[in-house]
């Protein structure tokens, strides 16, 4: 996860097993949805009508997962999309060790996502999966957008998954309830503002709200909960979902 201390250490170094903070059946369900949506977005831009690159069946697009944690998203992406190769970046050395043990990913960096240690125009795409809100300030969030813009190739894609704080119930839960039952957040997080997304150098190509399934859903209720989740996520109520995905593109026109 991203940096949120000033001494070179991460709060996430103290979490013994990050993957077990959310019940495994819920985590697997959410990861499946996010991976599917991320891959669909990449298909649109790299293999569909909005193809910015000459990608063929033997060529992979290179991405980086910012705040990759234990590498679960990298593992899922590379396992399910044969045209994808990914690097990982995280401020927590301990989480990176878990990620590397999954035997997926190319290169791993222990660094802040607001100072990505690679050259400009290096990646085809970048992902930030529920990680930007862990950055310590609005300035560092803005710096992260600028850094991602720098390291992406022209036409590159930035996929962001975050908590949807448009819903006041979700915002209250994440600030006052979630920190008391999980070790992932402490209630001081700076939630990503839609305004910051729209004011960035990127062009906003898609906003997708989804999932109503509580992270504390017991396993025996998953069948019913998944049914209701899919029903609500496909309705006009989707804007109140717990999660939001932004798909942004680096286009020369907006920066000129």
Is the pTM higher than 0.95? The answer reads: no
What is the secondary structure of 192-234 as a DSSP string? PPHHHHHHSSSEEEEEEEE----TT--GGGHHHHHHHHHHHHT
Does residue 5 lie in a domain region?
no
Does residue 123 lie in a domain region?
yes
What pLDDT, on the 0 to 100 scale, is given for residue 119?
96
Does residue 6 lie in a domain region?
no
Between helices 24-46 and 72-80, what is the axis angle to 10°?
Answer: 50
137/141 Cα distance (integer angstroms):
6
What pLDDT, on the 0 to 100 scale, is given for residue 58?
60
What pLDDT, on the 0 to 100 scale, is given for residue 202?
96
Does residue 184 lie in a domain region?
yes
Provide the CA 73 distance to its chain's centre, in angstroms: 8
- Which CATH number does the domain housing residue 156 bear? 3.40.50.150
Length reported for the chain:
256
Does residue 250 lie in a domain region?
yes
Does residue 169 lie in a domain region?
yes
Q: How many domains does the chain have?
A: 1
How many Cβ atoms sit within 10 Å of the Cβ of residue 133?
A: 18
Does residue 1 lie in a domain region?
no
Question: Over the chain (256 residues), what is each successive 10-residue block's mean pLDDT?
Answer: 46 54 89 95 74 56 94 93 93 90 87 96 96 94 97 96 90 84 79 93 95 92 95 94 96 58
What pLDDT, on the 0 to 100 scale, is given for residue 177?
85
13/227 Cα distance (integer angstroms):
36
What pLDDT, on the 0 to 100 scale, is given for residue 178?
81
73/38 Cα distance (integer angstroms):
10
What pLDDT, on the 0 to 100 scale, is given for residue 201?
94
Does residue 3 lie in a domain region?
no
Owning domain of residue 77: 11-255
């Amino acid at each position: 996860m991203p940096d949120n201390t000033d001494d070179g250490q991460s709060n996430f170094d103290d979490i013994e097993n990050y993957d077990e903070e959310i019940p495994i059946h819920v985590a697997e369900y959410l990861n499946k949805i996010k991976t599917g949506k991320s891959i669909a977005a990449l298909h649109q831009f790299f293999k569909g009508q909005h193809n910015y690159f000459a990608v063929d069946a033997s060529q992979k697009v290179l991405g980086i997962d910012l705040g990759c944690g234990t590498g679960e998203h990298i593992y899922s992406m590379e396992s399910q999309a044969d045209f994808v190769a990914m690097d990982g970046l995280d401020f927590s050395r301990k989480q990176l060790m878990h990620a590397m043990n999954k035997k997926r990913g190319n290169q791993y960096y222990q660094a802040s996502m607001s100072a990505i240690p690679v050259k400009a125009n290096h990646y085809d795409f970048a992902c930030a999966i529920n990680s930007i809100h862990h950055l310590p300030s609005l300035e560092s969030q803005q710096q992260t957008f600028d850094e991602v813009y720098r390291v992406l190739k022209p036409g590159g894609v930035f996929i962001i998954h975050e908590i949807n704080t448009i819903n006041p119930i979700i915002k209250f839960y994440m600030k006052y309830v979630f920190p008391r039952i999980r070790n992932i957040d402490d209630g001081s997080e700076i939630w990503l503002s839609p305004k910051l997304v729209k004011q960035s150098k990127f062009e906003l190509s898609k906003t997708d709200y989804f999932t109503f399934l509580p992270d504390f859903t017991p396993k025996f209720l998953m069948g019913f909960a998944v049914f209701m989740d899919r029903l609500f996520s496909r309705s006009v109520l989707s804007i109140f979902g717990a999660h939001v995905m932004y798909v942004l593109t680096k286009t020369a026109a907006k920066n000129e």
